[in-house]
Structure 1
Amino acid sequence: MYVSVATEPGGSAPNEDWVAGTPSLAVVLDGLSTAGLDTGCQHGVPWYVAQLGGHLVAALAERDRPLADGLADALDRVARLHPECDLKNPGTPSATVAILRERPGHFDHLVLADSPVILEGDSGVTVLTDLRVDEVCQDLRAETERFQTGTPEHRASVARLVAAQREIRNTEHGYWVAASTPESAFHALTGTAPADDVRSAAVMSDGVSRLVTEYQMATWEAVLDRLRERGPASLIEVVREVEATDPHGQRWPRYKAGDDAAVAYCRPNIPGRGLPD
Structure 2
Amino acid sequence: MYVSVATEPGGSAPNEDWVAGTPTLAVVLDGLSTAGLDTGCRHGVPWYVAQLGGHLVAALAESDRTLTDGLANALDRVAQLHPECDLKNPGTPSATVAILRERPGYFDHLVLADSPVVLESQSGVTVLTDLRVDEVCQDLRAETERFRTGTPEHRESVARLVSAQREIRNTEDGYWVAASGPEAALHALTGTAVAGDVLSAAVMSDGVSRLVTEYGMATWQAVLEQLREAGPASLIRRVREVEATDPHGQRWPRYKAGDDAAVAFCQRVQG
Q: Secondary structure at the match of 2:178?
A: coil
Q: Which residue of 1 aligns with 2:245?
A: 245
Q: Which residue of 2 aligns with 1:222?
A: 222
Tell whether 2:33 aligns with 1:33.
yes
The percentage of aligned residue pairs carrying the same residue is 87
Deviation at 1:63, TM superposition (A): 1.5
Q: CA RMSD in A?
A: 0.3
Q: Which residue of 2 aligns with 1:168?
A: 168
How far, CA to CA, are the matches of 1:119 and 1:127 in structure 2? Answer: 6
Q: Is contact 1:64–1:103 with CA below 8 Å preserved after alignment?
A: no
Counterpart mapping for 1:1-277 below 5 A: 1-271=1-271
Deviation at 1:64, TM superposition (A): 2.2
How far, CA to CA, are the matches of 2:96 and 2:64 in structure 1? Answer: 23
Map Cα deviations across residues 45-91 of structure 1 (whole Å, 9 max, x no partner).
Answer: 00000000000000000122110000000000000000000000000
TM-score by length of 2: 1.00
Q: Secondary structure at the match of 2:73?
A: helix
Map Cα deviations across residues 19-56 of structure 1 (whole Å, 9 max, x no partner).
Answer: 00000000000000000000000000000000000000
Q: Secondary structure at the match of 2:173?
A: coil
After TM superposition, what 4+ stretches of structure 1 lie above 4 angstroms from structure 2? none
How far, CA to CA, are the matches of 2:223 and 2:162 in structure 1? Answer: 30
Question: How many correspondences in the alignment?
Answer: 271
How far, CA to CA, are the matches of 2:94 and 2:112 in structure 1? Answer: 11
Q: Is contact 1:35–1:162 with CA below 8 Å preserved after alignment?
A: yes
How far, CA to CA, are the matches of 2:186 and 2:2 in structure 1? Answer: 28
What letter corresponds to residue 118 of structure 2 in structure 1?
A: I
Map Cα deviations across residues 73-118 of structure 1 (whole Å, 9 max, x no partner).
Answer: 0000000000000000000000000000000000000000000000
Segments of 5+ residues of structure 1 without an aligned counterpart are: 272-277
Deviation at 1:186, TM superposition (A): 0.6
Q: Secondary structure at the match of 1:140?
A: helix
Segments of 5+ residues of structure 2 without an aligned counterpart are: none
